[in-house]
Amino acid sequence: MDYNTIMDLAADLGYELSMSGAETFRVEDSMSRVLASYGIVSEVFAIPNYLIVSILTETGKPITRMRRIGYHGNNLDAVEKLNALSRTICAQHPEPVEAMNMLDTVRHSIPCYRLPIYLFGNFLGAAGFAMLFGCGLKDMLLSGVCGLLGGLINRFMDRMKVNPFFETILSAFVMALTAYGLNVNGLVGNVDGVVIGSLMILVPGLLFTNAMRDIIYGDTNSGITRIVQVLLIAMGMALGTAVAWNAVALLWLRPVNAGAIDHPLLITCLGSLAGCIGFSILFNIHGPGGALCALGGVLTWVVFDRVFRYSGNEMLAYFLGSFFASVYAEVMARVRKYPAISYLVVSLFPLIPGAGIYYTMNYAVHGEMERFAAQGMHTAAIAGVIAVGVMLVTTIVRLCYTWKEMHSGNKR
């Protein structure tokens, strides 16, 4: 048996999944299943920045492969195709060299959106969610322009391999500075909504979702690491926005917010649709999957809006919204035989408390520490409720699969 080639196959597959933004359990499970399909018992350990796999050959000789994981991407199309490849290898058991060629073929066949489409995704993401935060048509379009600027900075910084924390600070600063500058010159009314909408393209939705799913599957170290990354990015967003606000206040005037518009459900659904299509582009989701992800975001928003309107209970609305998004993701994953993460991360975006993060920072900048603490606790509570909704569905699905496997084993 060609152990070295098989080990290289498993390690390269896990590396590509990790770099594309897959959950820790998916990385470990895919590597273990591929090795098991060749009759090899393995030990696999993965965390967000490192993975290791070890086996014992028939002669008792240990073989180990290690990979250092660099800056993670948001390439969910790659996660889907690599996940499908692991299924194919497990089902067909190709020769190790042929399997390596299959991996190379998949690796080089994953499509990526060109720069104009990528920037359009930034525009849609910022403009669509600005509408959810009460912006009119003009403010919505200007929020899209701010998002486009942020996309240009992100793409350039990614190519320069700049530290993600500094990249977030710079992007938030430029977008917020543009919005505040337009506000003091009378071109933007609802400046808070414009800034929040543009900041949504920086929100680490995939990291947050993966952190929750890692913790559910018992990968506590990976979950905590991802949560720390989420907090650092949130701090970068707050810092960049705060510096921009102070710069505008010192150079010109203090930005003045004109207030939000209470849009009807149909308008907010259109905003949610545009925003989720934008994020489907940013996560490199192609084909009908992108449309289904955006549809999940719209339906999640409808559930949240109707529950909140009729019950008046905000936390209940966030819980049922996240619960629905998780159910939708699991159903789509089973119907289309793709990972649930693609549908889940986009469907959850309308619920992400971007406004809470912004206002928490805003109160800190203004020295209103009591309101800062209250808003910060409220935002944390929303994030916790969303996490509970996702965890509940994922745990139920996991229990059902465990019961099914045990039941099938008893029958055999």
Residues 136-146: tens digit of each pLDDT = 999 999 999 99
pLDDT, mean of residues 110-130? 95
Reading across the β-sheet that carries 50-56, which strands appear in turn? Answer: 42-47, 50-56, 62-68
Nearest to 333 by CA among 325, 321, 342, 324: 342
CB proximity list for 402: less than 8 A, separation 6 or greater: none
Judged on CB neighbours under 10 Å (0-12, 13-18, 19+), 45 is: middle
Answer for the pair 208, 229: CB distance below 8 angstroms, yes or no.
no
- Check whether 409 has a pLDDT greater than 60: no
Classify strands 50-56 and 42-47 as parallel, antiparallel or unpaired: antiparallel
In this prediction, residue 160 carries a pLDDT of 85
DSSP assignment of 365-387, as one string?
HTT-HHHHHHHHHHHHHHHHHHH
Alpha-carbon distance 208 to 233, whole Å? 11
- pTM beyond cutoff 0.85: yes
Q: Across residues 342-360, what is the average pLDDT? A: 86
**CA gap 268, 253 in Å, rounded:** 31
User: What does the block give as tokens for 70?
Assistant: 């660099």
Question: Lowest-pLDDT range, 219-228, 234-243, 351-360?
Answer: 351-360
What is the rounded end-to-end Cα distance, in angstroms, of the chain? 30
pLDDT at 410 over 60: no
pLDDT at position 116: 95
Place of tokens 């897959």: 22
pLDDT of 73 over the 80 cut? no
Residue 85, CA distances (Å) to 129, 229, 247, 393 in order: 35, 29, 51, 26
Confidence tier at 407 by pLDDT (50, 70, 90): low
Segment among 144-148, 224-228, 242-246, 400-404 with least mean pLDDT: 400-404
Average pLDDT, the chain: 90
SS3 42: strand
- Provide the 10 A C-beta neighbour count for residue 343: 27
Residue 186: pLDDT over 60 = yes
- Whether 210 has a pLDDT exceeding 90, the answer reads no
Name, of 190-199, 223-232, 368-377, the range with top average pLDDT: 190-199
Of 24-38, 207-221, 379-393, the poorest mean pLDDT is in 207-221
Measured CA to CA, the distance from residue 230 to residue 289 in angstroms comes to 26
pLDDT band at residue 412, thresholds of 50, 70 and 90?
Answer: very low
Average pLDDT over residues 92-106: 95
Per-residue confidence (pLDDT) for residue 118, from 0 to 100: 96
Q: What's the pLDDT score for residue 164?
A: 86
pLDDT in tens, 263-315: 999 999 999 999 999 999 999 999 888 999 999 999 999 999 999 999 999 99
Contact 236, 168 (CB under 8 A): yes
* Residue 242 host element (H or E): helix 220-251
* pLDDT confidence bin for 167, thresholds 50/70/90: very high
The region of weakest confidence among 112-116, 302-306, 406-410 is 406-410
